[in-house]
Amino acid sequence: MGLPGWTVRGCTLHDVAAILSVTRASDVAALGEPDWTEDEVVATLTAPNQDPAVDSWLASGPGGKPLAWAYVDNPERGTRDNVQVYAVPERGAAAYGPLLDLALERVAARAREAGHVEVTLRAGAVASESAYVDALTSRGFVFRKRHARMTRPLTPEDRSLAAGVRPLAAGDGPLVADDRLLVRAVRAGDEAEMRRFHEVLQVAFADTPDFQPVPYEAWRESLAALPSISWDEWLVAEVSGRVVGVLQSADQGVERGEGWVKNLAVLRERRKEGIGGALLRSAFTIYAAKGRTTAGLGVDLTNPTGAHRLYASVGMTVAFAADMFERTVTAPP
């Protein structure tokens, strides 16, 4: 392993606190504040196609203190896998390379298990994480593109608007309604509507460079594995009674008082009509009604739809950017 005196082992749910101590130390050094939550760690360890005993690793230093954590992530068993490595600054940096080596070996085996000849493996790093970037590039990873995390404080105007809007139950009354557009919570118990929600996501993202289709059944499986879902924060936009836009929230930011937009999608023929902005403002209203102080999301800055411009137009700003690196991994014979 190249780590004399260290121990490296697979993970269990009993390791959540130790993993969180590593990710938070890493986040504070790279971003200035903690980013991971306990729920996010649990969701990662219990995700579809994830066996934490062989798909994630906790590295402890000579004194027995956890100093680094890594995991691979490919819930749909597709041709793109992901690896992330977190380390306590300075003391944990020695584990970057050995953990990446374990991940590369495991990704190759997962590719063979899934019947793929090869897969693309991706890893994200903040530019200031120079030791991690060096470990990636020395193992054949090359820069691919840049992602950004955007945030927006929920303003007094959001809260005053929210004061007149009770938190919605799934399928409850509209947040926005005029003679053209209606925005309301998804009817989570309506199978046809959930299939339409999924269809809009798939169709709207099909024109982005990294789109990978996800069958409805696999999507529902990934939802079932989540620790919690706030369906009242999942929104649909209707024009003439037809769902043409959707907003999917996630509970990952609840611990830090943040509403999180996981996916926002509007059909191509309905873009530039204010639908995306209406969905976002409606989500901000719901988040504020629940006492959240910020809203956040992640965006691919190379997205040809110009999504980051939409987010900027509703007051969101870039909190930090992360570079995406990738390499090809070939399955063994």
Rg (CA), the chain: 21
Q: What is the dihedral of CA 251, 253, 257, 260, to 10 degrees?
A: -80
Of 39-43, 104-108, 276-280, least confident by mean pLDDT is: 39-43
- Residue 256 Cα to chain centre, angstroms: 16
Say which CATH topology domain 150-322 has.
Aminopeptidase (3.40.630)
Interval 205-212 mean pLDDT: 83
* 7-140 against 150-322: fold identical: yes
pLDDT, residue 76, reads 82
pLDDT at 173: 53
Contacts of 228 (CB under 8 A, 6+ apart): 39, 251
Q: What pLDDT does residue 176 have?
A: 59
% of the chain surpassing 90 pLDDT = 72
Query: Domain ranges in the chain?
Result: 7-140, 150-322
Residue 302 pLDDT: 75
Strand 181-185 vs strand 56-60: parallel, antiparallel, or unpaired? unpaired
User: Which CATH number does 7-140 carry?
Assistant: 3.40.630.30
- pLDDT value of position 160: 64
Q: What b/e sequence results for 231-264 when a residue is b if at least 16 CB atoms lie within 10 Å of its CB, and e otherwise? A: ebbbbbbbeeeebbbbbbbbbbbbebebbbbebb
pLDDT for residue 180: 83
Compute CA distances 297 → 78, 94, 179, 258, whole Å: 24, 31, 30, 10
Confidence of residue 167 (pLDDT cuts 50, 70, 90): very low
| pLDDT in the model for residue 266 | 96
Residue 36: strand, helix, or coil:
coil
pTM: 0.76
Closest C-alpha among 250, 245, 196 to residue 222: 250
